């Protein structure tokens, strides 16, 4: 029995594989199939070109499943839609309603304290913010729309991504289950979920937020997981040796030490959100992205470039704020400071 145990798993896989082929054969249209099943073994011409009956039917069940989802859980998606849309609209209306110098002042205030009172970063971010409106007055409100979408998408990413990353670092089974999902999310073309997003949530900001989530959450999960696993083993051992429970080790040691990596993940998340929000303009999301699209549609290169620069400026603002906050955490835990040998 011991001897055959290692053949067990491959055997199961083989059965599943054969099952797939049988399903494919049975679902193929009769005109594609040979008249008799046994003909396959007499006439080997099907070995030349890929035979039409060797076709796994994935499309029909996916369509059916999608329809079923819309019919039965429409209310659920409607709820999500209303919630996110409400959040987005109130946030946007509030920021658009504020006088623009006040918005710049708020950005300066946030940057100043996030970067640990660094003047150069603050001045640079202030200039970038000013130039958003200075490039073209139209851009100001559109940048605020884009910012709101990015912020909500990021919030969603953080709320879901960081706990998942932590769970992944602590449990190998969760890790094994999540990794292929993350791979899928990162490789699948974005239009594959943008268009179904429209079907589920309608046109506008909400499918963009969902798309941002799908596109930007994998790096955050991965970096959180990596950060927690990279924490020095001896430090964790030390906390265990003093009788820390798992919870105490996680909150007291692992998360604080993984924070630079998690911040890096949030930074990545922001950048990818901005990239996605531009693509999302193609499904009718309003924001600075549709200026690029408009420029391209009219073959107005200058306009497209101008809007492109606005996006870059927006990216710089986001990057500086998150990056400098991450650096500040990192300074304490990793960088060597000047050693003070004054005493001893």
Partner 1 sequence: MAKIEVKNVYKIFGDSPSKVLPMVQGGSTKEEILEKTGHTVGLDNVSISVNEGETFVCMGLSGSGKSTLIRHINRLIDPTSGEISVEGTNVMELDQKNLIEFRRHKMSMVFQRFGLFPHKTVIQNVGYGLEIQGKDLSERNKIAMEKIDSVGLNGFEHQYPNQLSGGMQQRVGLARALATNTDIMLMDEAFSALDPLIRSDMQKQLINLQAELKKTIVFITHDLDESLRLGDHIGILNHGRLVQVGTPIDIIMKPADDYVAAFVKDVNRSKVIKAKIIMLAPEQFKSNGTKNRNIIKVNEDSFLDEFLPQVCCTDADVEVVDKSGNVKGYITEKELSKALTKSEADVLTKSKTY
Q: Contact positions toward partner 1, by CB under 8 A?
A: 232, 234-235, 237-245, 248, 252-253, 256-257, 332-344
Sole residue written with tokens 């930007």: 216
Tokens 């970096």 belong to 223
Nearer to partner 1, 248 or 300 (CB): 248
Q: Minimum distance between the CB of residue 344 and partner 1, rounded to whole angstroms? A: 7
Place of tokens 């692992």: 254
Contact 141, 96 (CB under 8 A): yes
User: What's the rounded Cα separation, in Å, for the pair 245 and 254?
Assistant: 12
Tokens found for residue 112: 């100043």
What is the closest distance, in whole angstroms, from the C-beta atom of residue 252 to partner 1 in the complex? Answer: 8
Integer Cα distance of 185 and 221 in angstroms: 12
Q: For residues 111 and 239, which CB has a smaller minimum distance to partner 1 in the complex?
A: 239
Indicate the residue among 29 and 336 with the shorter CB distance to partner 1: 336
Report the C-alpha gap between 263 and 243 in whole angstroms: 29
CB of 172 to partner 1, least distance (A): 15
Which residue matches tokens 């996006």?
A: 311
Cβ-based nearer residue to partner 1, 147 or 254: 254
The first and second tokens of residue 54, run together, are 């060797």
- In the complex, what is the shortest distance from the CB of residue 243 to partner 1, in angstroms, rounded to a whole number? 3
Nearer Cβ to partner 1 (183/232): 232
Give least dist CB 232 to partner 1, A. Answer: 8
Q: Give the C-alpha separation, 212 to 159, whole Å.
A: 14
């Amino acid at each position: 029995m011991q001897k055959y145990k290692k053949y067990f798993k491959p055997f199961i896989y083989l059965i599943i594989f054969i099952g797939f082929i049988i399903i494919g054969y049975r679902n193929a249209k009769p005109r594609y199939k040979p008249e008799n099943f046994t003909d396959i073994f007499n006439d080997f011409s099907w070995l030349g070109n890929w035979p039409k009956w060797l076709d796994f039917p994935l499309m029909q069940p996916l369509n059916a499943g999608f329809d079923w989802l819309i019919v039965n859980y429409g209310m659920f998606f409607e709820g999500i839609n209303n919630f996110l849309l409400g959040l987005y609209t109130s946030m946007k209306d509030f920021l658009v309603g504020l006088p623009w110098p006040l918005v710049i002042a708020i950005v300066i205030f946030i940057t100043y304290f996030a970067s640990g009172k660094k003047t150069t970063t603050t001045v640079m971010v202030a200039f970038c913010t000013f130039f958003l409106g200075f490039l073209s007055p139209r851009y100001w409100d559109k940048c605020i729309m884009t910012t709101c979408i990015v912020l909500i998408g990021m919030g969603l990413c953080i709320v879901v991504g960081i706990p998942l990353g932590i769970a992944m670092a602590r449990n190998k089974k969760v890790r094994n289950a999540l990794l292929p999902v993350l791979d899928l999310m990162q490789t699948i073309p974005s239009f594959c979920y943008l268009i179904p997003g429209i079907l589920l949530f309608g046109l506008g900001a909400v499918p963009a937020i969902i798309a941002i989530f799908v596109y930007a959450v994998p790096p955050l999960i991965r970096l959180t997981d990596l950060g927690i696993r990279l924490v020095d083993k001896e430090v964790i051992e030390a906390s265990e040796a003093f009788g820390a429970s798992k919870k105490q080790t996680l909150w007291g040691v692992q998360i604080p030490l993984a924070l630079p990596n998690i911040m890096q993940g949030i930074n990545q998340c922001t950048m990818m959100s901005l990239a996605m929000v531009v693509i999302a303009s193609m499904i009718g999301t309003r924001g600075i992205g549709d200026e690029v699209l408009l420029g391209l549609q009219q073959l107005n290169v200058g306009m497209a470039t101008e809007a492109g620069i606005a996006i870059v400026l927006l990216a710089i603002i986001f990057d500086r704020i998150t990056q400098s906050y991450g650096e500040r955490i990192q300074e304490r835990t990793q960088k060597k400071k000047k050693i003070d040998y004054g005493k001893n």
